Amino acid sequence: MSYLLTEEQQLIRMNARDFAKEHLEPRAVHLDKSDEFPATTIKLMAEHDLLSWFLPEAFGGAEVGYLSYVLGIEELSKASAAVASIIVNHMSAAYAVNRWGSAQQKQRHLPALIKGETLGALALTESGPSVGEGPNAVIATKQADGFVLTGNKSFVANAGRAGLYVVFACTDPLAGGKSLAAFLVDAKAEGLEIGLKKRMMGLRGRPIADVTFRNVAAELLGPAESGVAMCSELLSVLAIAEAAQTVGITAAALEHAGKYAQQRVQFGRPIGAFEAIQTMLAEIATNCHVARHAVYHAATLIEQGEPFSAEAAMVKLFSQRLGMHSLLDTVQIEGGYGYSEEMLMAKLFRDVSGTTIAESPMEFPEKLIAASIA
């Protein structure tokens, strides 16, 4: 893959890999079992500039581009997809502030997000059939001094640990999701309540909880009339980063299964010598290679300011299939050992389900891809 990357990008990937090996890999199993939030690790990542990839130098960011970001996320995910997921959600919130924030909003929030002093969170999902529908939909009401939010968001990543929430809410209850607008909410705002932390199957250590808004003061982010387009773009950006996570997890599973296939002996020879095992490993490696190229291409489109929503949808669709199918095969290659919670493969299987079962509007990705063909 190095022929696609600049020397700087290769160095960034190597630095992320080294950090993951030294600081994430030794703690990954404990994090999975304890489900504790890795606060010290997140702080250390900020000190190593792992929260600053595509953010502007003017606010303390590295400004090395979105491709460098997904390179880093892929490497972090090989060691700890949970920590990588915390960062992905944090960086998605930072992307929104940088992309649509006013000069004052950027100055107020970006330095703290880059330094790790504030953790970001994206609040979109609701319990209704879609955003803006149902009795608990989050509604933004205009007042003389700004907006207040009322309602409930479900399964908010980084909830309870985040200092800043990017919240998508409806400004017109009758229009529902068509009236979406984006808002910034301080975690200390009066009326904001964090529900009980949910125990998830995978990506343990990443906090997930419902967030309730009871007349919570909120600051409009970007034009109110552009909320739907903003939400769509942000989900596309998020999809590419989550696909990078899936590629990283799959690559780790492939490496583990490949080594196992060479060590496990049956009928007098390693099982890796059997055609059935070779076929599974080859298909996983090929699909992982293709997915990696697709992720890098989509990330490059973001950097170049080109349209990328269709490519993000394709990456999302392909990575969903890649992750679950590949992990099923790697578990099968390792047999009973792969199914055992004492082995790494079970954790990787649970983690990849968390990166592929992601929040997205109903028409994403299949309908978006189909629409781009016409």
pLDDT in tens, the chain (374 residues): 445 789 999 999 999 999 999 999 999 999 999 999 999 999 999 999 999 999 999 999 999 999 999 999 999 999 999 999 999 999 999 999 999 999 999 999 999 999 999 999 999 988 877 777 778 899 999 998 889 999 999 999 999 999 999 999 999 988 878 899 999 999 999 999 999 999 999 999 999 999 999 999 999 999 999 999 999 999 999 999 999 999 999 999 999 999 989 988 888 888 888 999 999 999 999 999 999 999 999 999 999 999 999 999 999 999 888 888 999 999 999 887 878 887 888 899 999 988 877 545 445 677 777 777 86
136 and 264, same domain (yes or no): no
Q: Could you say which of 75, 359, 363, 366 is catalytic?
A: 359
User: CB-based contacts of 210: which residues, under 8 Å, 6+ apart?
Assistant: 152, 153, 154, 155, 156, 159, 194, 195
105 and 129, same domain (yes or no): no
Domain boundary among 174, 208, 224: 224
Tell me, what CATH number does 211's domain have? Answer: 2.40.110.10
User: CB-based contacts of 343: which residues, under 8 Å, 6+ apart?
Assistant: 334, 337
Verify whether residue 359 is a known catalytic residue.
yes
Q: Is the dihedral of CA 322, 327, 157, 93 positive or negative?
A: negative
CA distance 94 to 107: 12
Domain boundary among 164, 193, 224: 224
70 and 46, same domain (yes or no): yes
Domain boundary among 92, 119, 146: 119
Q: Is the pTM of this model over 0.75?
A: yes
Number of other residues whose CB lies within 10 A of the CB of residue 181: 24
* Number of domains present in the structure of the chain: 3
197 and 278, same domain (yes or no): no
Q: Nearest CA to 183 among 131, 139, 154, 219?
A: 219
Give the structural domain span for 307. Answer: 228-373
